[in-house]
Chain A
Amino acid sequence: MHDAQTQPTVYHKNSLGGSDIKVEVRDVSVSYGEKQALFNVSLDIPDKSVTAFIGPSGCGKSTFLRCMNRMNDTIDGARVSGSLKIDGAEVNDRAVDPVVLRASVGMVFQKPNPFPKSIYDNVAYGPRIHGLASGRDELDAIVEQSLRKAGLWAEVSDRLQDPGTGLSGGQQQRLVIARAIAVNPEVILMDEPCSALDPIATAKIEDLIDELRENYCIIIVTHSMQQAARVSQMTAFFHMGSLIEVGPTEEIFTNPLESRTQDYITGRFG
């Protein structure tokens, strides 16, 4: 049995420190009540690229993802320590309003969770509560833009008033992405966004992620090695609450430095 706390993270070349760093994480730990779920994670996440978190289930990927938009605040008994800066601004600062933070850090969940409202209202909800549009026309424009960016416009443009819950699973997930994009975030967090989808819908979402990369910093949790390899530029491997190894995706998959990374990628456990 490894003692995770004593394991230092293995950083590949260029993976800690650099010029276009969006998120800078230092010594972040999370515990739920008595139980510690994340141990001293330090990591830099580059802007305008896709970073994948991989690891066996229960290793703390989602927990870490939730640190980025302080969703852990909504869980009773969750405590977060360490420093997490987005564009140099401390996220864990008491002065930071999580509501404001979440407007710039969007999140997409494992199971598509559109509101039981119309497609239009789903996308328009964020802009409405943040007052991003000054009129009906502007709101219409934001909705259309977001749906276009999420690659859903062609499919739903003629039925914007239909309920969002009536769409197929893949369409719902893209609707949720459109909803996240609509508030103009800088970082988009995705927690296993394709695990509830069929391969065709998955391929569409992956293409979408590849397009979105040009404008956003995307962090995706996945349990599919292939998906991580296909869509991400950076990969971080977690195990039992510790960040084991992080580096450019190609290197992690072709030349892992840690034996556990190697074992996980080749499917020996997980």
Chain B
Amino acid sequence: MTAEASSLKAGPHRTLSRDLLAPVLKEAGIAALVAFGLAVFMIGFRTVDAQGGLQLETRWSWVGIAVGAVFVGRLALALRRHWRRADQGPGILSALSTRLGAG
């Protein structure tokens, strides 16, 4: 709601650099968090056969790669969506926060 009001006052171009980064980073951060939740057990640990049962092997680097890839990918998507909106004038932020809120 506050985002809507501020985007009305500021011109479209000023909002691009400053106010934009926060929601876009937040979106990418949430996606990365979800990716971490997905990967932490299923990729982070691998069950390997050993005598008398199973043993765990860790692969944190893979988890790091997965989370990083999701973060970068989502950031790119969010930015691209933003640039597209920017062509249509002000109100991008409200639209962006709307999308975030829905997601």
Asked if A pairs with B, the answer is no
Interface residues of B (CB under 8 A from A): none
A residues in contact (CB < 8 Å) with B? none
